Structure 1
Amino acid sequence: MRLCRYLCRLRDKRSCSQSRILRPHNWNRSELLFVSSIGLLGTNLESYCEAAERSPHPRCGITALVRTHEGTPSMAALPYVEVLIVGTHSAVEQKALRRRLERKRRVDNDFVIHTVFVRSFEDTLNELRVNANLQAVVIRNGFPLRSQDCRLATSHWGLEGLDAEIEAVPESERGPMLGSLIAQLRPELDRYLVTHDNVEEIAAHTGKTFKRIFFREEDCDELYPSIMRGVAQRYDTPFFFAVRDHAKLPVSNFHALPVSRGKSIRNLNWIGDFGEFYGRDLFSAETSATSGGLDSLLEPVGPLKRAQENAARAFGAKRSFFVTNGTSTTNKIVVQALASPGDVVLIDRNCHKSHHYGLALAGARVEYLDPYPLNDYSIYGGVPLRELKRTLLAYKRAGTLDRVRVLLLTNSTFDGIVYKPEHVMMECLAIAPHLTFLWDEAWFAFAYSHPTYRQRAAMKSAAKLSAMLEDSDYAARYDAFSAEVNVEAWKDDERILNTRLLADPSKARVRVYATQSTHKTLTALRQGSMIHIWDQEFNEKTEEAFNEAYMTHTSTSPSYPILTSLDVARRQVEMEGYRLVKRKLELAMRLREQLSRNPLLKKHFRVLGVDDLVPREYVESNAESCFDENAGWSNFETAWRTDEFALDPTHVTLDISATGISGDTFKHKLMDEHEIQINKTSRNTVLFIVNIGNTRSDVAHLIEVLVKIARETDDKLRDLSTIERGIHDKRVRSLTQEQPPLPNLSAFHPAFRAMNSALGTRDGDIRSAFSLSLDNANCEYLPLTEVEGAIAGGRELVSASLVTPYPPGSPILVWGQLISPAILQYLRALDVREIHGYQPERGLRVFRKKTLTRVLDAQKSSPEHGGGA
């Protein structure tokens, strides 16, 4: 009992921080050592003290708190939950309310709940911003707008443009408005309203905003269990729990997978180290069973179905699907589902190679779109909205707009350049209201967890666009727009390109798909990916095709560990995603700050900022940096709200040209000599992506290594001879001033080109080219020296391969594309070791002249064919 009293004294000494968690703010050394030794640092001390006082064995009270007994989780094992209560409560009322809730706590509860009180609308927004431990909000109606704390700054995090509107609303009616705003900013939080007003009418108008609405005059006996149930629903991972329970069964396996239960490993002679390395539980979870509490990925009806429904809720989709063989496969599934032979797909020519294979398999005709180039760093940006509109207008003029079915863009790019999907989709639907959108969000799975990122996530943009098109106020806006931009105005392409277009709400349908590499930016095993769908016509037009594509590309033996990791990744997103993304932003800014301020690092490295990676014409905010000591994150929030392209600050691109070391060499130096892993490089840059698993120690290690490399470079330069100095300077000059320009898509050869290319459209039949390339008799290899001579001699060389430097995995040549001198120059300058589709010892694979002649002759005899073999 003395230990319990000692803990209680520590509790009373704690700082009055908002989080009410035990932290070493003002303790002496003995207190700190004691708490650390029993594992209580950073935990809810009040719960431990109460449980210790209830313990029947005083000497064992503390030990009982820390250990977990078989079948009964101890207090130390319980997740900690904070509930925000909004209202003008006095200290006495707060204490009484806290006690009322605590009296309802049961010994078998799965969570420990603690209450946090705020008094105003502004206090609430600030708490939502800074407190990442919150899991629920209880709004008790009647509170002021402004905080009594004059130092409080809510930045632009919810109040912009709303001040006057909120001021006009009576205090008693601000609860529903606050609830709606919380649903936008932190949708993962459960929301409850306690009011003395007409609860029936409020429920009829704001039912989706709140999980439950309580009448204040009643005792609210169900508030506490409602909070507990809401947290439990998000905590639930049905497929993970099902696999974990299945692994405990004494199963005798007379089917596939000898490795199941680890029986082909244990007690045998030669692969015991394999079992020891991965552990017993992994093999216990390996099974091919779909019964006994488990489920089938191809026909889910039980825990997998519920897990995917939970994922749709967490990521803001109407439907979500798990995929166990990577986003390369999710891309092929969606492309095959949306595109039929002859359909035209508009696609960023810098997209991942999997899209090109998917389009070839689907038989779609492809119109490649050129993103803006960053030639100084050999990096592609995004495709400007003006280019998207120009392309759609060209098809409209050609009378073939109805053939354009899908727009496919990468959001975000490898280097963190992010579109504004809502803006893109609105204006494209104004020209082509039937268009479907596929957003490759391989590097953006985390975005829905943070309000600033979320506004540029495909699913959030789709939901917002859907609501907008159904709103009566928007209909009035559109009527005014269509009166100004009339039939005559649509004949003037330049005017349309310069006008912010609105989609016709009577014609436009929101059809949006997103593919995400969950394993890249969230906590999932490698190859764990998801498809998220917001398609208003899915049931009517796409469901059957999607199911067939899913069956085509999905293994009948999916990995259960990967599937359970997707289920758990979803739980983490809903329970602590905001905290993790907020933390990785802070880590990224620490890294950027050191790289930009340290004199030695600045001498050899330069962090590329918004002004380097996004041309000024796409930056309406004029923000040059994401974080400022005076303005905080306001630049970041403003840029992401307004600019055509925004930069994700957690993608840190470093210009290393001053070292004289190429990007690929630098990457291998980091790993081979310093155990730092990166992936993407260009000739003179390396990319560091700060993820939710990084720590401050990781950042410190990276900075330490870069300082070491900078010192090594200084020492090396100091000892160079005159000749060696000249060689070094030439190398630096090559990396800084002699960068080959990034090549645009040249063109498809006439054998694969669209018949209406003279009218401004450039789509090509890559499936025909791909099919021809499978027959070696149609192709030949030419060394680069012969390629250069052949082009100079007037021969049209046509690629018979998808030539893809890896990383980043974006092709520079596709099947049927003419090889231009610019592409050849760029290929020569590449320094990556892995180029798919190109064998240096053999050269480029191209179509023979007679093959192309045969295809062209076939077209002449069958003009309605429109190109192809």
Structure 2
Amino acid sequence: MPEKKTITSNHYNVAQLRVETWNNLKNRSTKLQTSTRGSTEEKEVKKEVREILKELESIECYFAFPGVSRLRALNEMLDRKEHAAISHRIADITKHLVSGKYRNTSDFYEEDEQGVDLSENMESADGVRKNYFEVLFVEDISQQEEHKLRRDLKDLQVSGEQFYYGIVVQRSFEDALIALRFNPNIQAVVIRYAPPYRSKKISPLIKPFIQNILKMDYSATPQAELGPVLGPLVKKFRPELDTYYVTDTSLANLKDSTLKSFRRIFYRAEDLQELHLTILRGISERYETPFFSALKEYSKKPTGIFHAMPISRGNSVFKSRWINDFGSFYGRNMFLAETSSTTGGLDSLLQPTGSLKKAQKMASNAYGSQHTFFVTNGTSTANKIVVQALVKPGDVILIDRDCHKSHHYGLVLAGAYPVYLDSYPIEKYSMYGAVPLEQIKEKLLQLKKAGRLDLVKMLLLTNCTFDGLVYNVERVMQEILAIKPDMIFLWDEAWFAFAGFTYNYKQRTGMFVAKKLCDKYKSDSYREEYEAHIKNLKKDEVSKLPNPDEVRIRVYSTQSTHKTLSSFRQGSMIHIWDEDFRRKSENTFMEAYMTHTSTSPNYQMLASLDVGRRQVQFEGYELVEKSVELAMVLRAKINDHPKLNKYFDVLTISDFIPEAYRESGLSEYYNKKNGWNSMDNAWENDEFVLDPTKITLHIGNTGVDGDTFKNKYLMDKFNIQINKTSRNTVLFMTNIGTTRGSVTYLTNALLKIADELDREFSSLSEKESKIRQERIQSLTKDYPPLPDFSYFHHSFQAVPGVPGGNIREAFFLAYNEENYEYIAIKDCLPVMKNDRTLVASTFIIPYPPGFPVLVPGQVVSEEIIQFLTALDVSEIHGYRADLGLRIFKEGVLNRQKTATSMGAMSGNTKKLIK
């Protein structure tokens, strides 16, 4: 059924509503200041100001700044007709709120104190930069008790401390969850006793933004249990937060689940100072960056360099007459921190025992893994490490054919047999979607029928894809584990490192689902569910639930931290949740890690991974939410603007995902008529969803292909960089570094391009116009079919007639130049029509997006030739236009066929003997 519309048409989220409301208040207060006293205009504007203040109170009650007390103070100023003062005050608050500068000054801390100057006090007296956060207290207390709590906690805060905080008090279970949803400044939660469940202050203004909270129903839970219930819920939505519980329940009567849910439990009789110090300690521990701090300290030490790296300390740079400009560009700190030393507080990446080991452990906690490893040469290497660590020659891997080239090369190195899975095609836009679950299960059942299920080791999928398609990770893992309970999953999350820091995204990540399923399958409730499911299965029906006595959770995620979070280029991570890691995989993983990891890793990159972890733990939630908001704003702007939508069309959910894979019925995030649609239901249930931060612009109506549009218009004219194009699309992405200014700049650039296209079209002659229309027709109507994976030539099939190919054998067979020849692309089809089977001897990889159209040993199909002919990207790895396709010679294939048959016979004979 179609999903109900739950978001207002004017604002995507409450952050956007909040900022725009304050800006509106600022404008109306300025108008009030200039209005003639006693005039009708003054009365009307004053009424508007008061109404806006009332609206804001329903939002600001969930924030420490500006907070409800300031709004009440503004109302009092309005009563006193202090129009100039209130206008100045509102402008000051709005400036600090929009810029976030209030988080760098403690001068405003006491929010019910009037007349405080919000000066930009960025540092404390001793020069330490201040870091502001907010603490959520959940307790049904009176205003007087709340005021005392604020005063007592303020008295405990020392002015010279690096961290200081504001207080947000919520008096109900629902209000606490709303505060967590709205307020990214909250870094700690203190649940004092048991709050009542229902909120008494939810206004119609905020209801559209809290539908997922209102759908919850813990109203039947006894109030005494609501505090312990709230603790795990906080961790579910904001796992990075520290949670504390204040109670009078004796230790003997506290449940184990309650003890494990909170960082610490306090009793009311205890001194408030202990709670205050514990809160600061929790923040301080997360703030720590072990390796970055060690590197900074090392850079300050006077040293004598008698080891490798003349560049260390900048000695070979700053004293040079010829490259000192290099030093000036990067600055001295970069060179002071350059070293090959693993002492003095530093550490070895290959065998960490100190600061790097601790940094990786902290990253593991942040990303929700059991183990995390830093990788300094990109996710391409991370992928090869995982594949080599977990599969051996002869193992079978189910792999998305459209995955990154590094996986295919990893299979060559490992000697595993790939069973390629085809994504559904999106032919209109010359791109591929994702692999349907039914196809994966079909291949797996084929292998089971052929007696090769025991050889299947891994399922490898890209999540999310370059174009933003995201799998239902939980459903995929559960239904595959029902067929093969020990399957290893490798989720290539190169473009999804940010996803673990906001709830909708997080529930479709490998690490989150691994932990969820691990807990689920060990529960008594799941065993009952499984037994009922098995009992009700029809004859020959395949179970969709794994056997709890057999299932093992073994999940690996590779992430390009540098692509979507803060890290230097090539900074990546491998995250592991593997119940059998120590017993089965740790040794082979470390061998693979040693194989591919440099003994001279870049320390600056490692430090950036360490610091990037700190950032996402403190502000990941806010930054990711903001990047989604900006993506939605850009989508709406292009969709609504008549000049822009004349030439450009933002592709949306229904363009990328067939209806059969959208159970929610959600087809678009936004349209001009109805505004915003909630994505919550779709992200929870649909087989595939679309990451809104990947904004694909269809440009067919410009008459310009994607590669030309990227270079001639975006890059040459506006210095706008993008990663990917297709025949008729270009891909934009928002991330945690995207600003409102950059979105505005892009919008302005598109408007100027539209103006230029208008001028071009109007100046065309009749003949030129006809040519342009034919080009538009080609880009919007006449699109080449996208080829599926054809098949491995029988010379390279692992077992005749069964999915799986010997890609390694084909790859190394081409090391002998006598075994292949080149055939011009234009001659391929005529040669194929003469009954010759063409077999690729190398990878053919258009870049972007970077996945192979052909792999060694694969038969070249007519569709593949047509696709290669229609390609408009200039970079195709493995293909030389001057020579053509590199194809195995026929005689080589005949010899290979004989050798393969003998090998298969020998293997069968051995099996019979055994």
Whether these two folds match at TM > 0.5 is yes
Confirm or deny: 8 A CA contact 1:619 1:644 kept in the other structure: yes
Instruction: Tell me: CA distance 1:40–1:318, structure 2 relative to 1, closer, same or farther (3 Å).
Output: closer
What is the match of residue 101 of structure 2? Answer: 42
2:326 maps to 1:274: yes
Q: Partners in 2 of 1:73 and 1:605 — Cα distance?
A: 51
Pick the aligned partner of 1:562 from 577, 599, 605.
Answer: 605
Pick the aligned partner of 1:735 from 761, 779, 782.
Answer: 779
2:207 maps to 1:153: yes
Pick the aligned partner of 2:790 from 734, 739, 746.
Answer: 746
Instruction: Tell me: CA distance 1:530–1:228, structure 2 relative to 1, closer, same or farther (3 Å).
Output: same
2:753 aligned partner, one-letter code: I
What is the match of residue 486 of structure 2? Answer: 434
- Quick one: percent identity of the two aligned structures? 48
2:63 maps to 1:19: yes
Instruction: Tell me: CA distance 1:197–1:157, structure 2 relative to 1, closer, same or farther (3 Å).
Output: farther
Instruction: Tell me: CA distance 1:728–1:273, structure 2 relative to 1, closer, same or farther (3 Å).
Output: same
What is the match of residue 799 of structure 1? Answer: 840
2:270 aligned partner, one-letter code: E
What is the match of residue 764 of structure 2? Answer: 720
Instruction: Tell me: CA distance 1:693–1:233, structure 2 relative to 1, closer, same or farther (3 Å).
Output: same
What is the match of residue 135 of structure 1? Answer: 187
Query: Alpha-carbon deviations, 1:113-171, whole Å to 9, x = none?
Result: 111111111111111111011100001123221211241527566546641xx212222
Instruction: Tell me: CA distance 1:34–1:463, structure 2 relative to 1, closer, same or farther (3 Å).
Output: closer
What is the match of residue 620 of structure 1? Answer: 663
What is the match of residue 693 of structure 1? Answer: 737
What is the match of residue 437 of structure 2? Answer: 385
What is the match of residue 555 of structure 2? Answer: 512
Instruction: Tell me: CA distance 1:44–1:342, structure 2 relative to 1, closer, same or farther (3 Å).
Output: closer
Q: How does 1:637-786 map to 2 (within 5 A)?
A: 637-669=680-712, 670-757=714-801, 761-786=802-827
Query: Alpha-carbon deviations, 1:56-102, whole Å to 9, x = none?
Result: xxxxx999955567xx334xx21101001111121211121122222
Q: Partners in 1 of 2:803 and 2:483 — Cα distance?
A: 18
Q: Partners in 2 of 1:49 and 1:509 — Cα distance?
A: 53
Pick the aligned partner of 2:508 from 447, 456, 468.
Answer: 456
Shift of 1:221: 3.5
Shift of 1:327: 0.2
Shift of 1:532: 0.2
Q: Partners in 1 of 2:118 and 2:460 — Cα distance?
A: 58
Q: Partners in 1 of 2:641 and 2:152 — Cα distance?
A: 54
2:639 maps to 1:587: no
Q: Partners in 1 of 2:184 and 2:672 — Cα distance?
A: 22
Confirm or deny: 8 A CA contact 2:102 2:118 kept in the other structure: no
Shift of 1:50: 8.2
What is the match of residue 183 of structure 1? Answer: 235
Confirm or deny: 8 A CA contact 2:178 2:210 kept in the other structure: no
Q: Partners in 2 of 1:553 and 1:287 — Cα distance?
A: 21
2:900 aligned partner, one-letter code: Q
Superposition TM-score, scaled by structure 2 size: 0.87
What is the match of residue 789 of structure 1? Answer: 830
Specify every segment of 5 or more residues in structure 1 that has no aligned partner in the other structure, as ranges. 1-12, 52-60
What is the match of residue 641 of structure 2? Answer: 598
2:271 maps to 1:219: yes
Query: Alpha-carbon deviations, 1:326-364, whole Å to 9, x = none?
Result: 000000000001110000000000000000000000000
2:393 maps to 1:341: yes
Confirm or deny: 8 A CA contact 1:126 1:154 kept in the other structure: no
Confirm or deny: 8 A CA contact 1:141 1:173 kept in the other structure: no
What is the match of residue 814 of structure 1? Answer: 855
What is the match of residue 353 of structure 1? Answer: 405
2:295 maps to 1:251: no
Instruction: Tell me: CA distance 1:36–1:389, structure 2 relative to 1, closer, same or farther (3 Å).
Output: closer
Instruction: Tell me: CA distance 1:34–1:435, structure 2 relative to 1, closer, same or farther (3 Å).
Output: closer
What is the match of residue 348 of structure 2? Answer: 296
Confirm or deny: 8 A CA contact 2:313 2:336 kept in the other structure: yes
What is the match of residue 9 of structure 1? Answer: none
Shift of 1:281: 1.0
Query: Alpha-carbon deviations, 1:395-419, whole Å to 9, x = none?
Result: 1111111111100000000010000
Specify every segment of 5 or more residues in structure 2 that has no aligned partner in the other structure, as ranges. 1-49, 75-84, 111-116, 909-914
Provide the secondary structure at the position in 2 that maps to 1:47: coil
Query: Alpha-carbon deviations, 1:409-456, whole Å to 9, x = none?
Result: 000000100001111000000001121000000000000000110000
Shift of 1:675: 0.9
Q: How many residues are matched?
A: 827
What is the match of residue 162 of structure 2? Answer: 110
Q: Partners in 2 of 1:41 and 1:639 — Cα distance?
A: 32
Provide the secondary structure at the position in 2 that maps to 1:635: coil
Instruction: Tell me: CA distance 1:157–1:288, structure 2 relative to 1, closer, same or farther (3 Å).
Output: farther
Instruction: Tell me: CA distance 1:621–1:105, structure 2 relative to 1, closer, same or farther (3 Å).
Output: same
Confirm or deny: 8 A CA contact 2:291 2:355 kept in the other structure: yes
Q: Partners in 1 of 2:124 and 2:890 — Cα distance?
A: 74
Superposition TM-score, scaled by structure 1 size: 0.91
What is the match of residue 528 of structure 1? Answer: 571
Q: Partners in 2 of 1:692 and 1:265 — Cα distance?
A: 34
Of the structure 1 ranges 501-510 and 167-176, higher mean CA displacement relative to structure 2 is found in 167-176
Of the structure 1 ranges 209-218 and 78-87, higher mean CA displacement relative to structure 2 is found in 209-218
Instruction: Tell me: CA distance 1:830–1:40, structure 2 relative to 1, closer, same or farther (3 Å).
Output: closer
Q: Partners in 2 of 1:185 and 1:209 — Cα distance?
A: 14
Shift of 1:280: 1.1
2:107 aligned partner, one-letter code: Y
Shift of 1:756: 4.2
Instruction: Tell me: CA distance 1:120–1:865, structure 2 relative to 1, closer, same or farther (3 Å).
Output: farther
Confirm or deny: 8 A CA contact 2:190 2:244 kept in the other structure: yes
Q: Partners in 2 of 1:265 and 1:798 — Cα distance?
A: 52
Confirm or deny: 8 A CA contact 1:859 1:866 kept in the other structure: no
Query: Alpha-carbon deviations, 1:193-218, whole Å to 9, x = none?
Result: 11122344336222231101112233
Instruction: Tell me: CA distance 1:684–1:40, structure 2 relative to 1, closer, same or farther (3 Å).
Output: closer
Q: Partners in 2 of 1:816 and 1:28 — Cα distance?
A: 74
Pick the aligned partner of 1:285 from 316, 327, 337.
Answer: 337
1:313 aligned partner, one-letter code: N
Confirm or deny: 8 A CA contact 2:794 2:800 kept in the other structure: no
Pick the aligned partner of 1:202 from 251, 254, 262.
Answer: 254
Q: Partners in 1 of 2:676 and 2:511 — Cα distance?
A: 24
Q: Partners in 2 of 1:234 and 1:439 — Cα distance?
A: 27
Q: Partners in 1 of 2:720 and 2:870 — Cα distance?
A: 26
CA RMSD of aligned residues (A): 2.5
Shift of 1:585: 0.8
Query: Alpha-carbon deviations, 1:692-730, whole Å to 9, x = none?
Result: 101011001111111111111111111111110111011
Q: How does 1:315-326 map to 2 (within 5 A)?
A: 315-326=367-378
